[in-house]
């Protein structure tokens, strides 16, 4: 006979109830744990990258920061018709099609000392620390998934911290963190990891409001990443593969249970299509460039294996990779065959729903835009491994722990004795793996210090690249450019000549060689190179300006003026060309036209010291002594702000001589 049920009053939960206070304690404990891990990773990143916090701009940083007009103003965000805004970077700049990183650079430019790299490096380092923290937050949840049958439940926290630590200090990450332009890679990585973390919360949420919140955050993170870099295109597919592998068991089940999540990712693909449909970097990337796709794909087989080697043995590291394309079957087949076997193994591992299969797919999927789409300016780049390394490091740490634990457990891991001592074995295994990981991190730190020291001296960075890539025309060119920046024009000339020998049709190299020759008094030799640069790059404002300067040095100002005017047509706010034109107009007896050009140059760049002397002369020729005096006072202030005390003294001497001639105000 069934027993009557006893109806008891429902248990109520008050603010002081054990369940509520327990939940509050858990939240508080998790909150402080997260802050502690963030502090630890932040300190480690600061110790590694702090030594190079003042390192100068390198490589494309000049294009991205110094020459980028879209970061010179914060508002309006799109632009005002006269100049592009920070959310509208110009075509063929490194940030083209990547508006959010461009906006972040504009904020740096506005609140830092313009081109002082310190503020930019600080932001990059902070972003890297937050990315490492996000990786920890993702892995601590991944290691607890039922997929792993509790193997990592007791050690998920230390393993996640160790993986995040090794990822943060791995030398292969230096290119992305220290090279300011590659903020695009780090911001995309932040959004990629945030999308995965929000998706994990979505799958594990126990109430509709929480699921809705995490659903919205996952979609927002994915959409934001799409505005950072086109590599984000693979994120929805990787989230789907993650759910199929670790949670749902099949693609059908994943789509059936989480279709709102994947629907929320569709705007990200729309954003990528919108930003890149016009080909923002079509001159250097895409299937329209003068390179057969199959040659690029064969070459990328070699590149992929180089990446995997650097993930395991991160040396030597090079700022720019340049080697011969694999354009014949004889040259390509060893690399293609190796990658084909690796791809076959990956397919089998994915089919069997293994963590290794997911990680290998993660690596290839994130690299796929550059593996598939030809990019003629860079065959390979270390920064492209920034996010793929997260999966490889996690696999390395978890796999290492599993190996050590099995060695400690003995030949029969299912015996009662082994099961009873599982907790003790886990503690020993994680201690061993942790100690080995810390030693590895210290070794990485030593390599980091050596590599970052090169970033402090761009000349050493590019000379090192030449050691490892002696056939690189780009490295020769950049050694020459760096020597030019240091005022060592004569030393730069052989490097430009060697770069032209390797790559005869590079307009930029011809232009810089012409400039170097002109600066050492060899203007007749310079003109043919600059003219060749204009033929190769008709839209080069710098080449037009340099040709005008060379003609001026040869005493042919009438021929030079049209080239300065052309330079101003080709490049908006080209202050240097405006100064050169103003100087010649003043000499040609057109002081008012000279004033207009020189004042315009100073409006574009108020710190352009070279504009003041000819401007003062032009005002004196117009009989405007008072204006000339006030201009000299401006020049003195600018010279002192730039630390040019000798120039300030010259303007002061002129001012003392002419102030008495100025009419009283």
Residue tagged 């069997």 (tokens):
352
Tokens of 36: 């502690």
Per-residue pLDDT of 19-53, as tens digits, reads: 556 556 666 677 889 999 999 999 999 999 999 99
Length of the chain measured in residues: 665
pLDDT tens digits, one per residue of 342-362: 999 999 999 999 999 999 999
**CA-to-CA distance for 212 and 220, rounded, in angstroms?**
12
Of the candidates 69, 183, 163, which has an alpha carbon nearest to the alpha carbon of residue 120?
183
Per-position b or e across 473-504, b if 16+ CB within 10 A of its CB:
bbbbbbbbbbbbeeeebebbbebbbbbbebbe
The answer to whether the peptide bond before residue 465 is cis (omega within 30 degrees of 0) is: no
Give the pLDDT score at 333: 96
pLDDT tens per residue across span 101-132: 999 999 999 988 778 999 999 999 999 999 99
pLDDT for residue 216: 98
What's the per-residue H, E or C state across 336-364? HHHHHHHHHHHHHHHHCCCHHHHHHHHHH
For residue 546, pLDDT over 60 is answered with yes
pLDDT tens for 62-89 read 889 988 889 988 888 998 766 789 999 9
Write phi, then psi, for 58 (nearest 5 degrees): -135, 155
Two structure tokens written together for 129: 């620390």
pLDDT recorded at residue 273: 95
Label residue 282 by pLDDT band (50, 70, 90): low
Q: What are phi and psi of 79, to 5 degrees?
A: 130, 170
Backbone angles phi, psi at 116, to 5 degrees: -70, 120
Mapped onto helix, strand or coil, the DSSP state of residue 375 is strand
Which of 465, 213, 198 lies closest to 323, judged by CA? 465
Of 64-73, 296-305, 654-663, give the range with the top mean pLDDT: 296-305
- Is 12's pLDDT higher than 60? no
Q: What is the residue-averaged pLDDT of the chain? A: 91
Q: How many CB atoms lie within 10 A of CB 60?
A: 19
Per-residue pLDDT tens digits for 158-198 = 999 999 999 999 999 999 999 999 999 999 999 999 999 99
Give the tokens for residue 406: 């099995």
- Average pLDDT (235-253) is 97
Distance between CA 482 and CA 510 in Å, rounded? Answer: 16
Cα angle value 302/308/310 (rounded, 5°): 100
7 has a pLDDT exceeding 60: no
57 within 8 A of 117, measured Cβ to Cβ: yes
43-48 long-range contacts, Cβ below 8 Å, gap at least 24? 44/165, 44/168, 44/169, 44/441, 45/125, 45/128, 45/129, 45/132, 45/168, 45/169, 46/125, 46/129, 47/445, 48/168, 48/169, 48/445, 48/448, 48/449, 48/452
Q: What Cα–Cα distance (Å) separates residue 568 from each residue in 348, 510, 518, 582?
A: 59, 21, 21, 12
Strand partners, 373: none
DSSP β-bridge partners for residue 84 = 79
Asked if pLDDT for residue 633 goes beyond 80, the answer is yes
Q: Which residues contact 588 (CB under 8 A, 6 or more apart)?
A: 557, 561
CA distance 140 to 160: 5
Bond into 343 cis (ω within 30): no
Q: What is the three-class DSSP state of 376?
A: coil
Give yes or no for residue 11 having a pLDDT over 50.
no
Burial per residue of 283-320, b for 16 or more beta-carbon CB atoms within 10 angstroms, e otherwise = eebbeebebeeeebbbbbbbbbebbbebbeebeebbbb
Task: Tell me the two tokens of residue 645.
Answer: 């005390």
**How confident is the model at residue 392, as a pLDDT?**
98
CA distance 256 to 250: 10
Phi, psi dihedrals of residue 54, rounded to the nearest 5°? -105, 10
Strand partners, 380: 321
Region of residue 5 (left: phi > 0; alpha: psi -120 to 50; beta: else): beta
Three state DSSP letters for 29-80: HHHHHHHHHHHHHHHHHHHHHHHHCCCCCCCCHHHHHHCCHHHCCCCCCCEC
> Rounded to whole angstroms, what are the CA distances from 66 to 93, 183, 186, 581, 650?
11, 15, 21, 22, 29
* Residue in the block written with tokens 């003790």: 424
CA angle 531, 533, 535 (to 5 degrees): 75
- Token pair for 364: 């290839």
pLDDT per position as a tens digit, 407-456: 998 766 565 555 557 888 999 999 999 999 999 999 999 999 999 999 99
Q: What's the pLDDT tens digit per position in 563-597?
A: 999 999 998 789 999 999 999 999 999 999 999 99
Question: In the prediction, which pLDDT does 20 show?
Answer: 54
Instruction: For residues 527 and 551, give the distance between their C-alpha atoms in angstroms, rounded to a whole number.
Output: 8
- Find tokens 């995965």 and name the residue: 196
Question: What is the pLDDT, as a whole number, of residue 665?
Answer: 46
**CA–CA separation, 512 and 503 (whole Å):** 14
User: Helix 422-455 crosses helix 18-49 at what angle (to 10 degrees)?
Assistant: 40
CA distance from start to end of the chain: 114
Closest CA to 432 of 408, 396, 414: 408
Alpha-carbon distances of 116 from 109, 119, 604, rounded to whole Å: 9, 7, 19
Contact 558, 576 (CB under 8 A): no
């Amino acid at each position: 006979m069934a027993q009557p049920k006893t109806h008891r009053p429902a248990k109520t939960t008050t603010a002081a109830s054990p369940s509520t206070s327990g939940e509050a304690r858990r939240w508080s404990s998790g909150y402080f744990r997260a802050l502690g891990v963030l502090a630890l990773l932040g300190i480690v990143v600061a110790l590694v990258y702090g030594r190079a916090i003042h390192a100068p701009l390198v490589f494309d940083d000049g294009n991205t920061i110094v020459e980028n007009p879209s970061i010179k103003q914060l508002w309006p965000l799109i632009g005002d018709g006269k100049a592009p805004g920070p959310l509208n970077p110009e075509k063929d700049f490194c940030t083209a099609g990547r508006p959010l990183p461009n906006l972040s650079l504009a904020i740096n430019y506005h609140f830092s000392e313009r081109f002082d790299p310190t503020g930019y490096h600080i932001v990059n380092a902070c972003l890297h620390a937050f990315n490492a923290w996000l990786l920890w937050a993702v892995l601590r949840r991944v290691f607890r998934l039922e997929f792993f049958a509790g193997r990592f439940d007791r050690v998920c926290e230390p393993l996640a911290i160790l993986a995040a630590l090794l990822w943060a200090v791995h030398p292969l990450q230096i290119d992305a963190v220290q090279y300011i332009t590659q903020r695009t890679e780090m911001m995309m990585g932040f959004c990629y990891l945030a999308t995965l973390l929000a998706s994990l919360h979505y799958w594990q949420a126990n109430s509709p409001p929480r699921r809705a919140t995490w659903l919205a955050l996952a979609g927002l993170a994915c959409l934001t990443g799409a505005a950072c870099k086109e590599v984000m295109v693979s994120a929805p597919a990787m989230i789907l593969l993650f759910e199929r592998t670790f949670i749902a068991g099949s693609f059908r089940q994943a789509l059936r249970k989480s279709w709102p999540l994947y629907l929320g990712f569709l705007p990200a693909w729309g954003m990528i299509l919108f930003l890149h449909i016009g080909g923002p970097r079509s001159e250097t990337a895409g299937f329209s460039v003068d390179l057969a796709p199959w040659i690029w794909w064969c070459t990328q087989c070699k590149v992929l294996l180089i990446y995997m080697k650097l993930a395991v043995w991160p040396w030597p590291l090079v700022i720019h990779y340049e080697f011969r394309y694999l354009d014949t079957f004889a040259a390509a087949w060893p690399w293609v065959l190796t990658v084909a076997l690796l791809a076959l193994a990956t397919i089998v591992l994915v089919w069997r729903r293994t963590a290794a299969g997911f990680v290998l797919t993660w690596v290839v999927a994130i690299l796929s835009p550059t593996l598939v789409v030809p990019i003629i300016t860079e065959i390979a780049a270390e920064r492209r491994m920034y996010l793929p390394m997260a999966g490889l490091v996690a696999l390395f740490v978890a796999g290492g722990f599993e190996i050590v634990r099995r060695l400690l457990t003995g030949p029969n891991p299912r015996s009662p004795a082994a099961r009873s001592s599982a907790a003790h074995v886990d503690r020993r295994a994680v201690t061993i793996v942790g100690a080995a990981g810390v030693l590895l991190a210290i070794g990485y730190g030593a390599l980091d210090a050596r590599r970052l020291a090169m970033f402090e001296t761009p000349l050493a960075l590019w000379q090192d690249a030449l050691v490892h890539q002696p056939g690189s025309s780009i490295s020769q060119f950049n050694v020459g450019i760096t020597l030019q920046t240091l005022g060592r024009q004569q030393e730069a000339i052989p490097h430009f000549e060697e770069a032209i020998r390797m790559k005869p049709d590079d307009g930029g190299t011809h232009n810089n060689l012409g400039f170097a020759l002109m600066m050492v008094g060899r203007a007749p030799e310079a003109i043919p190179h600059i003219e060749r640069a204009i033929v190769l790059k008709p839209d080069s404002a710098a080449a037009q300006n340099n040709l005008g300067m060379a003609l001026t040095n040869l005493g042919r100002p009438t021929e030079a003026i049209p080239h300065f005017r052309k330079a101003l047509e080709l490049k908006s706010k080209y202050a240097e060309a405006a100064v050169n034109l103003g100087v010649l107009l003043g000499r040609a007896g057109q002081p008012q036209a000279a004033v207009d050009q020189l004042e315009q140059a100073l409006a574009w760049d108020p710190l352009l010291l070279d504009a003041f002397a000819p401007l003062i002369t032009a005002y004196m020729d117009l009989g405007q002594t008072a204006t000339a005096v006030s201009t000299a006072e401006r020049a003195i202030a600018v010279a002192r702000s730039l630390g040019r005390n000798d120039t300030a003294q010259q303007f002061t001497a002129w001012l003392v001589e002419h102030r008495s001639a100025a009419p009283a105000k």
